[in-house]
A and B are shown apart, each in its own frame.
Chain A
Amino acid sequence: MTAKTPEQITNDLLRPLSGISARYVFWAALLAGIAVAALCAFLYQVYSGLGVSGLRSPVFWGFYITNFVFWIGLSHAGTLISAILRLANATWRRPVTRCAEVITVFALSIGATFPIIHLGRPWLAFFLFPYPSERGLWPNIRSPLLWDFFAINTYLISSVTFLLLPMVPDFALVRDRAAGWKKKIYSALALGWTGTPKQWHRLETAMHIMAIAVIPVAVSVHSIVSWDFAMAPVPMWHSTIFAPYFVAGAIFSGIAALILAMALLRKLLHLEEYLLPIHFENLGKLLLVMSLLWFYFVFAERLTTWYGNEPSEMAVFWVTQHGSYAPLFWAMVSCNFLIPFPLLAIKKLRTITGTAIASFTVVIGMWLERFLIIVPSLSHKYLPYRWGTYRPTWVEITITAGTFCTMVLLYMIFSKIVPVISVWELKAGRHEEPHALRLARQPDQVEAD
């Protein structure tokens, strides 16, 4: 592959921002249509009552909380990967980081809507907010749902910051090439960036701090989400494994989502020369590690449960392994391990296509995993007289489909506003030494970019 000049790089990476094809409009309209249908379904639910969903006694949480955990989990893609890779100074990360961070912000935003969607009285959701109310009460700080509230908000703010910070130089780049109203917008977004060494230094420092800070935040978020389940005395929920299990699963699904996103972007935005097989290879290896880790957690938990033979837990164990949930259970194991393992472990299969297929099955498998954690346990609690079932209705299915479409749509819109690959970081990677350092050493010999 011929080496590209900085000018060529900029052109390639900014090209998607101009022009909208008919195909783009078609897909955007389709996705938006389904998203609007989902919104209508939600409004219908608010109007009629939660009865329009398939929830019932004893399965009071179903699709909505599955989606909640799934999307929050998926959000661990960006920030964690991006932060970890930055700190480890893995150079191959450069084209990947923004894709990843964007997934985080959007997935988190979508995930954060579900606690509202699943409420019985969503118009009172503000009760969760700590303010001096006339009820004389603050929210209950002992409730894991409150921890969710704070953790997710913290994570959202951190992720947005972590995303926006490195976008500033690229906004400046677009600003310099834009005209008219676009120029005005990008000027505002660029925050007056001129590329001075001092600004670069500030940016690098800020990103370094954020990279370190965001990791514990990300770990805590999904630990806290896992404690929504682990803190309740429900068979096979009340397990110490939940926090690490969920964090590992989140990273797992996040990497898979990242690979999928990258594979799609590579194809659709013609970024074949930037998103290279080596990226997929490396991410694929990470995915393999996470798949093995996931399998280890599941195996350890199920072995312990089975060996302990506690009756209420065994009821849930058997219903997932042999009973009515067995088809979903084994589908999950296939999607999360049996299919990805050969695709990722065998070097010949660890291609862009291979990792993309593996990622696709992992995304499905991880969604199933959330479902199978929630529903079988709730449907088989301690008193067999109150065992039950769950079946989603069109409302829940539409809203679920709508969130997937919203995710893709948001990504599509983002790709038209901001370069999905961080231009300056990519270029910085092609220099022998960090650009900032060079500037620092020879400020008067700065190259025009």
Chain B
Amino acid sequence: MAHQWGMAIDLDRCNGCEACVVACHAENNISTVGEEQAALSRAKHWIRVERYYEGEFPDVRVKFTPVLCQQCDAAPCEPVCPTFASYHTSEGLNGQVYNRCIGTRYCANACPYVVRYFNFYNPIWEKPLQLQLNPDVSVREEGVMEKCTFCVQRIKAREIQAAAEKRELRDGEIQPACVQSCPTRAMVFGDLGDPESEVSRLARSSRATKLLGELGTRPKVNYLPRDSWHDSENA
């Protein structure tokens, strides 16, 4: 059976450090837009850590939720793209084909998670910052939509490697950049189609929820909300 890639994020571990955000920038050639463009809400953080305050001083609580493309199985961004630039792959990913994108931005409007980012200008890397660019990932030009791909370049590289070595992929062998860097090990990536995988086990937890699941998008990221001291159960 084809792999069905998914993730589990344990919000009881996540402390909002944003290592995932920077790791993603570095891995996926995301350009910095600069102060002026950031002020126009055009910064491209494929994964972001949403921060919500609750309550008033002194009873204040803070919630952190890393939000990235949920690779929805019923993705609202897919039917609306007129050129099939947004499409569903056989491994359950929402693929974004930069070459087909003509920039109608309908997908970005349709996405309830606001995880799609648009290149309002051609990306700029002031020399020699461009030497850091990852050769395994395209650089997107102006007018093209981009978003988290679950580091599909890493998935493909490992699949090719495993095929060359005539073996199955091991659970945990593929780690997107965010998962790899997370200091609290809050993020787990794996094959939701394999019931024995760590991500499947976490998805079956009674704590597991989906972000905006009620919209019927069937997202593949399972969130395990923050626990409390007395009510904790075996994760």
Contacts and interface: CB of A to CB of B under 8 A. Distances in A.
Interface of A: 48-51, 54-58, 60-61, 115, 118-122, 124-125, 127-128, 135, 137, 139-140, 142-146, 149, 228, 231-234, 378, 381-386, 388-389
Interface string B192-233: 000000000000000000001001010000000000000000
B104 interface: yes
Given A57-B41, A57-B117, A135 B100 contact: yes
Contact of A120 (B52, B76, B101, B215): B101
A143 B215 contact: no
A51 to B, nearest CB: 3
Most chain B CB within 10 A, of A61, A121, A122, is at: A121
Contacts of B112: 233-234, 381-383
Contact of B104 (A49, A54, A145, A378): A145
Nearest to A120: B103
A232 B80 contact: yes
B144 interface: yes
A382 B215 contact: yes
Interface string B100-134: 11111110111011100111111000000000000
A114 to B, nearest CB: 11
A118 B104 contact: yes
A121 B105 contact: no
Interface residues of B, number: 43
A127 B100 contact: yes
B105 A383 contact: no
A119 B104 contact: yes
Chain B interface mostly helix, strand, loop or mixed?
A: loop
A50 B122 CA distance: 10
B7 interface: no
A233 to B, nearest CB: 5
Contacts of B102: 119-122, 124-125, 127-128
Nearest to A139: B82
Contacts of B104: 115, 118-120, 145
B113 A383 contact: yes
B42 A56 contact: yes
B37 interface: yes
A191 to B, nearest CB: 37
Contact of A57 (B52, B67, B103, B114): B114
Contact of A233 (B48, B83, B84, B215): B215
A174 B186 CA distance: 80
B83 A51 contact: no
Contacts of A55: 105, 118, 120
Most chain B CB within 10 A, of A139, A233, A378, is at: A233
A382 B76 contact: no
A412 to B, nearest CB: 33
Nearest to B48: A385
A383 B106 contact: no
A50 B142 contact: yes
A233 B74 CA distance: 12
Contact of B106 (A58, A137, A145): A145
B114 A58 contact: yes
Nearest to B51: A385
Contact of A140 (B37, B82, B105, B215): B82
Nearest to A57: B41
Given A49-B120, A124-B102, 13 more contacts: A57-B114, A118-B105, A120-B104, A120-B119, A137-B84, A143-B82, A145-B104, A378-B109, A381-B114, A382-B212, A383-B113, A383-B114, A383-B212
Nearest to B110: A232
Nearest to B33: A51
A180 to B, nearest CB: 47
